[in-house]
Structures are given as structure tokens and as C-alpha cells.
Amino acid sequence: MPEQQSSELARAIQDVTEKAQLLVREEIELAKAEMAEKVTKLIKGAIFGVVAGVFALFALIYLVEALAWGINDLLDAETALWAGFLIAGGLILLLGLIAGLIAMRLIKKGSPPTPQLAIEEAQLIKGTITASPAGHAVGPVGARQAPAPAPREGKR
């Protein structure tokens, strides 16, 4: 009889070990898939951003040219044509400085892409394994259920 119990215990331990290994492998695959999806979206967004930037640069060249000539007309400077171009260039530098500061601020706020779903699932699994009181649902479904209503005081 003791041999049968020890073999059943060994089999149960082996099953738990295999399932834990399977769970870890699946969590790693989930993290890989999630990261691949996020990186793909980032690359697509970057490509469209570069294309938009190229078109905006070409448009900006024409707009700055028109601005410079317009400033020359306003200043009525026939001999100092450089004045309008200098003012337009200064405005462009100022806008570039502001945009660079905003970009730096946004980059600092941003974080590298992380596999949020895989991390959340791993935390739920860890919490389930370490402390699952009897009578409560086990697993991600149990962890996400709304808490039971508090007992009412003063009920007579």
C-alpha cells in the first residue's frame, strides 16, 4: 500500500512539474507574440511618420521661401533681401527648438514596449499558487471577479 501511495504521489508531482513547465513555456510564447505585435505596430507607425515628415519638409521649404519674400515686402527692403530670410530662419529655429523640447519630454515619459498581458497573467498565476483560500475561485477568472459585498451592519 505505501508503494502505491508513493507512486501516486510521484506521478502527481511529475504532472504538476510538467504542467508548470508548460505554463512557463506558454507565458513566454505569449510575451513573444505580444512583443512582436507591438514592435510591428511601432515600425509601421515610424515608417508612416518618416513619409509624413518628408512631405512636411518639402512643404516647409516652400512656406519658408514665401514667408521670407513676404517679410521682405513688408519691410520694403529692396537692397537687404537677406533680412526676410534671416527672420524666417530664426522663426524656423525657434519652432524646431520648441518641437525638440516637446519630443524630449514625450520620450522621457514613454517606456519601452513591455508584454503587459504576459506580466499580468504571470502575476495572477503567482498569486493564485501562493495563496488560494478554500472556497474561492482559482485562476485568472477568480482573481478578476468583483469582491463579495461587505456584510451590512445594523441589520436587525
Domain ranges (residues) in the chain: 9-111
Greater confidence (154 vs 61) lies with 61
**pTM exceeds 0.75, yes or no:** no
Give the C-alpha separation, 127 to 140, whole Å. 10
Is the pLDDT assigned to residue 137 strictly greater than 70? Answer: no
Q: What is the pLDDT of residue 120?
A: 82
Q: Give pLDDT tens digits for 49-100.
A: 889 989 999 998 999 899 888 888 888 877 778 888 888 889 989 988 999 8
Q: Give pLDDT tens digits for 28-56.
A: 898 888 888 888 888 888 899 889 989 99
Give the C-alpha separation, 67 to 23, whole Å. 63
Q: How many residues comprise the chain?
A: 156
Greater confidence (111 vs 120) lies with 120
User: Under a CB-based contact definition with an 8 Å cutoff, are residues 118 and 34 in contact?
Assistant: yes
Mean pLDDT across the chain, nearest whole number? 80
Q: What is the pLDDT of residue 98?
A: 94
Task: Go through 105-133 and write b for each residue having 16 or more CB atoms within 10 A of its CB, e for each that does not.
Answer: eeeeeeeeeebeebeebbebbeebeeeee
- Across the range 129-137, mean pLDDT stands at 61
Alpha-carbon separation of residue 137 from 19, 26, 34, 129 (angstroms): 19, 22, 27, 12
Q: Where are the alpha helices (DSSP H) in 76-113?
A: 82-109
